[in-house]
Amino acid sequence: MLKNSGFIVLVFGILCCSCDSNRVFDEYKSVPNQWHKDSIISFKVTPPDSTNAYNLFVNLRNTNAYKYSNLFLIVEMSYPNGKTVKDTLEYKMAAPNGELLGTGFTDIKENKLWYKGYNAPFIFNESGEYKINIQHAMRENGQVYGVENLEGITDVGFRVEYTNPN
C-alpha cells in the first residue's frame, strides 16, 4: 500500500509540473544581492511563428526586503529587423496595508506582470530572434536620482504564452 501511494504522489507531481500547455518561453535570471540601476537583464526569444497571438509577461521573484509599494521598469523589445520599442511600466507590488502581492507561501513572492497582450493579443510579426531588455527605474518620492541598488528582487524573468492553448 505504501508503494502505491508514493507512486501516486510522484505521478501527481509530474502532472502538476507539466500541465503548462500555454508556455512558449519561460526563463529567469538571478539578481545577485541588489539590482543595480544600470544593470540590464536580457532575454532572447525566437517565437515559433509569426501568425499566432501571444501574451507576454515580466516575472519577478522578491523577498520581504522589497520595501516599495510599486515598481517601475523600463522594458525594451528589439525586433529581428531592427525596430525597437521601449516602454516605462509601473506595477503594484504591495497592498495598501503593506503586505506584498504575489504568490508563494514563504517570504519569496512571485509576480506575473503583464507586458504585452492585455489589451489585444501580441503577434510577433517578424520572424527571427527578439531581444528583451529589462531594467528597473525606481525613484524615491521627491528625489531626482534613481535608487542605485534595489533590494529585495531575487530573480527577473520573461514569459511568452499562447493566448489559446494548442
In a domain, 54, yes or no: yes
Residue 66 resides in a domain:
yes
**For 50-70, how does the pLDDT look when each residue is reduced to its tens digit (9 = 90+)?**
889 999 999 999 999 999 999
Are 23 and 159 spatial neighbours (Cβ–Cβ below 8 Å)? yes
Reference 77, options 42, 117, 51; nearest CA is: 42
Of 162, 135, 153, 20, give the one whose Cα is nearest residue 74.
135
Answer whether residue 17 is part of any domain: no
Residue bearing cell 509540473:
17
Any domain includes 37: yes
Residue 147 has pLDDT above 50, yes or no: yes
Residue 100 within any structural domain of the chain? yes
Query: How confident is the model over 4-48, as pLDDT tens digits?
Result: 544 444 444 444 445 568 899 999 999 988 999 999 999 999 998
Where in the sequence is the domain holding 133, given as residue range(s)? 23-162
Mean pLDDT of the chain: 87
State pTM to two decimals. Answer: 0.83
CATH code of the domain in which 148 resides: 2.60.120
Q: Is the pLDDT of residue 89 over 50?
A: yes
On whether residue 75 sits in a domain, the answer given is yes
Q: Is residue 2 part of a domain?
A: no
Is 8 inside a domain boundary? no
Question: What is the count of structural domains for the chain?
Answer: 1
